[in-house]
Every structure is written in C-alpha cells, then in structure tokens.
Amino acid sequence: MKSLKTTKNLRINTLFTLLIVLMLAVMFLFNTITLILSNRYPLSIDLTANAAYKIGDETKTILGSLTDDINIYVLATPDSFEGSSYLIQARNIIDQYSIYSSNINLEYIDFEANPTFAAGYPELTLSAGNILVTRGNRVKQITLSSMFNYTYTTSGVSAIESSRAEETITSSILNVISEDQVSIAVLTGNGVSDMPAFLSLVSENNYIVKNVNMATETFDKYNLCILFAPTVDLSEDVLQKLDDFLYNNGEYGKTLLYTADVSQPKLPNLELFLSEWGINIGDGAIFETTKERTYNYQPYYPIVEYTNNTYKDKLKDSNSPLLMPLSRPLSVLYETKDRQYTETLLSFYETAGVRPSDAEDTFTSSQATKWGPMPAFVLASRRILGTTGVTQFRSNVIVSASTYMFEASTLQNSSLTNSEYILNLFNDVTERTDTINIEPKSLSGNTLGITSSQATRLGVILCGIVPLIILSAGIVIWLLRRYK
C-alpha cells in the first residue's frame, strides 16, 4: 500500500512539474512573441481624447510611401525622456516611426559618451537632445525645444502648452525626401520687425529660410520674400530689386509678403510701390466696437471675417477665429486693371473703425475716420494669360494689415487659425504639394480657447440660466411634495 501511495504521489509531482514547465514555456513563448511584435507593431492602446501618444493617419501615409532609407538619430538616451509627461509623449511618438516603416532606422545615441558622432556633421552645431533626420547627404536638425509649444503661467514662468513632436519629425522627413524645396528670403535692414516664431513655423514646414540684407544682397534666387513692417523707407534701388524679383525675367512665379504696423511712420516710396499693385496703406489703427468680434475684450485685437472661400474651405475648422492685432487700415484701389488683379482674402467687419494716429487720449468711437468693412489681408497679382485664358505665369504681392498676427502668441494659440491659414496660403502661392498639417497635442485636456462673444454666452449660461433652472426645479419639487 505504501509503495502504491508513493508511486501515485510521484506521478502527481511529475505531472505538476510538467505543468509548471509547460506554463513557463508558454509564458516565455508569449513574451518572446509579444517582444517581436512590439518591435514591428504598436500594441499599446492610446486612451487620450486626441490620441496624443499615437502618430496620425497623415504620417502613416507618408511612412508607407517611403522608398529611400531614412535615419533618425536621437542624441540622447531613452531614459532621458523620463520625468515629464511631454517628454514621455515625445519618445512614444519618435519610437513609432521605425515601427510603421521598415525604411526608418531609429537610433538613440548617448551624445555625451560618444562625442565623435559630431565629427560626422562638421557644418552643424550639435548638442545633447538634438534629433537628426537624414537621407544620404540631406540632413535636418531638430532641437528638443522646437518640439513643443510654450506659454507663460500666471507667475510668469514658461511652461509647455502642447507637443509638436509628430509635426516636427514628419516635416523633417518630408524635408529630406523632397526634391523641390521652396526658399524664403526674410528681408533685413530699414528697421524691420523681428518675427522669430513665424520663421520657426515656416522653417519647420520645409521652407528654407534665410535672412537677406535688402540693401547689399540680391534675392532673385528665392521663391518668396518677406518684409516685416520696416520703419525706414525703402530706397529706389531696393524697390527696383523688388520689381526685378517679381518680374523674374518675364517668368514671374515670385511672391512678396508685406506686413503693416501701427507704429510705422509714413513711407512714401514703399507706399507708392504698393499702390502700383492696387493696395493703399492708410493711417491709424483698426478697433472693433462689437465685443463678440474681439479677443479678450481688447478693441484693438479684432477678429476678422473670411472673405475668400477658397482659403476658408481649406481650414480644418472654418468656425475658428483668425486674429489680426494692432492693424492699419487698407484699401483696394481696383479689382482688375490691365493684367493686374486684387483679391481681399480677409476683412474687418462693418463694426470696425479707424482711430487716426494723431488722436487724443479722449478718443471715442464716434470720432472714427472710417468704418468697415475694410480689407485686412489682400492678395495682388500680375498674371500672364495663355491663349485659352488660363493663367500661365503669375507673381504676387500679399499685404497684411497686421504684423502681430505673425507673432508667437497668435501662431501658437490652438484656438486661432492664424498659423494654418498662413501656411495654406504660402503653400498655394508657391504651388507646393509636399505639405502636412498636424495639430499640436495637448496632454492637459482640451483648452477652452474662446472669443469674447463665446465668453459672454458662457457667462450668461453658467451664471444665469443654469442657476435659474436649478432654482426652478427645486421650487417645483418642493411644491409637489408640499401639496401632494
């Protein structure tokens, strides 16, 4: 009996041991398969409202179409992306590029432990945290700070507002694979304004941006010139350069963007040049009398109307406002004249007025020198038509009533369409097709970006209507229970 019992226990122990070994083998096999799949496919689930930790369909399409090998070098170790939810999000985004495309080679490099890496890129000033996207001898350098949008807290401390990791990496990939790049000359001298946030925006969207001194350098090799609100009038020589640039030896195909500013003095030479393109720059500053058409209740920060449906329809959300702070009044001298055409793309509303530059501090809206609607953003063009009446050659002069619509506070505000609208316009006039438009991802929930009218309506609803409904419901319930 004892021998039978011992044999039975031995069998049970053997089966139990085999079961444990089998379970361990299954777990090992499962973990191995999961590891292999995780290196090829994203297995995690992103439960954030805006899928902040996943690359979007637009990026997946671009990755799926790659035929050349692309290298992404991250000059940092993976564990250096810890300690911040935005750094973790950025690493999650970066890691997915090699998962979705076999043509992407992703490599993390400890830059401090491997200083010889920089020797391979002597033309660049590299530092820890940089990201390089390369294809052959084409290189796009990304700084870690450029992968985020920033804001200031109430205490004046800079803080990350949203992530641009996907937009930055995908744009860089497009930059190194694109064979047809568009170059922008930012004209310097004559007291022009500095708009670094805008220059970063266009640079990160695959435009080659260079500062060009308008007095000493030529800019005929560029596709687009930008003149940000000069405070010193342009000489006849510089204006002739602009004429030659736009004429382009009869081939046209060039664009000049000019922005006005309320602090500018009279610039007779430049204003005469613009009038030849059908645009007049007036005196004074635009103010809005309807609070619902202002931003943060500031009358000199007016919201404008989308006048041209072509560019309005290209917006992801045409109900989002476009802000043009501290604007000067514009007027269109003609719509068509010979081979020249003007189109008003954006307009101030009929409730907007003009305060003259010499107005007293006691100025009131009743003293306005002019009332809307008025042009806010004008596209003027000279066109050469073919025998069928279709435009074959064209150069453009774009005039903005506001320079401050190009500053960081408006371009990086996700509740405004300033950056999207401008990029769409640039892509159109330069005839670019290799473009993307990826929205920044916020990890702090949806930002309540509202205009003055929306703030007023919310205030009425939350402070008036909702409490009244609750009070009425309470009274009704009390009466029903009292007289039941």
- Domain borders along the chain are 8-40, 51-177, 180-429, 447-477
Please give the pLDDT value at position 301. 96
* Both tokens assigned to 138: 């084409």
Please give the pLDDT value at position 45. 47
Please give the pLDDT value at position 46. 45
CA dihedral for 372, 376, 382, 387, sign (positive or negative): negative
Specify the fold of 51-177: Glutaredoxin (3.40.30)
Please give the pLDDT value at position 149. 81
Please give the pLDDT value at position 203. 85
> What's the farthest any 2 CA atoms get from each other in the chain?
118
Please give the pLDDT value at position 391. 72
Please give the pLDDT value at position 447. 45
CA 40, CA 26: separation in Å to the nearest integer?
21
pTM for this one?
0.73
Please give the pLDDT value at position 317. 87
CATH for the 180-429 domain, from 3.40.50.720, 3.40.50.80, 3.30.930.10, 3.40.50.880? 3.40.50.880
Residuewise pLDDT in 10s, the chain (484 residues) = 555 556 655 666 666 566 666 666 666 665 565 555 544 545 444 445 456 888 988 899 999 999 999 999 999 999 999 888 999 999 999 999 999 999 999 999 998 888 889 888 988 899 999 999 999 988 999 999 888 888 777 777 778 888 889 988 998 998 888 877 789 999 999 999 999 999 988 888 888 899 999 999 999 899 999 999 999 999 999 999 999 999 999 999 999 999 999 999 999 999 999 999 999 999 999 999 999 999 888 999 999 999 999 999 999 888 999 999 999 999 999 999 988 999 999 999 999 999 999 999 999 999 999 998 999 999 999 988 766 666 778 999 999 999 999 998 898 887 899 999 999 999 999 988 777 777 777 786 544 445 556 666 666 777 778 777 887 777 777 777 666 6
